[in-house]
Amino acid sequence: MTDKGKGREADVKLAGRTALVTGSAKGLGRRTALELAGLGCDVAVNYVVSRAEAEQVVGEINALGRRAIAVRADIARQEEAERLVAETEEKLGGVDILVNNAGPFIRERRLFADYSADEIHYLMNGNLVGTMLLDRRVLPGMRRRQWGRIIHFGFGHAAEARSWPHRAVYAAAKVGLVSFTKTLAVEEAANGITVNMICPGDIRGEFKEKGITDVNGLKDEEAPRGRPGTGEDVARVIGFLCLPESDFVTGNTIEVSGGLDPIVANVKRR
């Protein structure tokens, strides 16, 4: 098939589409890359240090009969983000789906006054400015094709712009991204481009790459749903948002948390 979007198999709704998933060597990004490949996408797998893991994901996608490449790039650095898109376009074709999963996060709890200026710039660039620049880079192609899906990542209750003590810079960047998500969704709706934000709950460690059946019978006393969240919980929602029939769903922040408030949970653990 020569036309993007016309399936190589009738039941694979995203066959012929190209997806770029940032930070997809491990964790939620990895699970998302595999989900989109399962729906028919060719996928650019992005990493910064996890080269071996990225190449493993590429192998798994190839085994599904899809094309994939691994590209090293730090989206917090503009020139690297530009190269990431350019290499994807050169090797896989124009980016139809952009999943902005990557974003630096400092795990150490710290008052805002204790951040260095360089750390503030890096967190803002990686979680807000870099995402905006990636979106800007892929928009012309999406407009030409009159089709596109852009997914941003936030955190639970980001749309409420609540305080998050000891996470001031990260939270500010993601809350700014909420407004940008809604604005870009309105601006690009007529071009067949949807823009949404996924807000995962407190999905931890190895569970980020697990499926829902993997946690059957496991209990999480902290989660209202009663079980741990998984990468599949998040990836399935992203897959739905990327379907052709989901073109009426745009400008939303979607909680995938099992009812858990991650800010409250983090404060309680202190």
Task: Please write the tens of the pLDDT for every residue from 17-47.
Answer: 999 999 999 999 999 999 999 999 999 999 9
Q: What number does CATH give the domain 18-269? A: 3.40.50.720
DSSP secondary structure string for all residues of 65-129: T--EEEEE--TTSHHHHHHHHHHHHHHH-S-SEEEE-------S---GGGS-HHHHHHHHIIIII
For the segment 236-256, the average pLDDT, to the nearest whole number, is 97
pLDDT score recorded for residue 209: 85
* pLDDT surpasses 50 at 6: no
pLDDT score recorded for residue 195: 98
Rounded-to-integer distance, Cα 6 and Cα 165, Å:
48
Q: Where are the domains of the chain?
A: 18-269
The residue to which tokens 């980001």 are assigned:
158
Q: Are strands 253-256 and 68-72 parallel, antiparallel or unpaired?
A: unpaired
pLDDT tens digits for 178-218? 999 999 999 999 999 999 999 998 888 888 988 888 988 88
For the segment 94-110, the average pLDDT, to the nearest whole number, is 93
The count of other CB atoms within 10 Å of the CB of residue 21 is 31
* Sign of the four-CA dihedral 251, 177, 188, 91: negative
pLDDT score recorded for residue 7: 39
187's enclosing H/E stretch is helix 168-188
The 3-class secondary structure across 224-243, one letter per residue, is CCCCCCCHHHHHHHHHHHHC
The count of other CB atoms within 10 Å of the CB of residue 154 is 23
Rounded-to-integer distance, Cα 46 and Cα 33, Å:
10
Higher pLDDT, 146 or 107: 146
pLDDT score recorded for residue 264: 65
- Partnered with residue 13 across adjacent β-strands are none
| 3-class DSSP assignment, residue 150 | strand
The residue to which tokens 């190589």 are assigned:
8
Q: Mean pLDDT over all residues of the chain? A: 91
From residue 116, alpha-carbon distances to 107, 166, 169 in Å are: 15, 14, 11
Percent of the chain whose pLDDT exceeds 90 = 72
Two structure tokens written together for 237: 């929602």
> What pTM did the predictor assign?
0.91
Amino acid 66 reads R
- φ and ψ of 104, to 5 deg: -65, 150
pLDDT tens digits for 109-132? 999 999 999 999 999 999 999 999
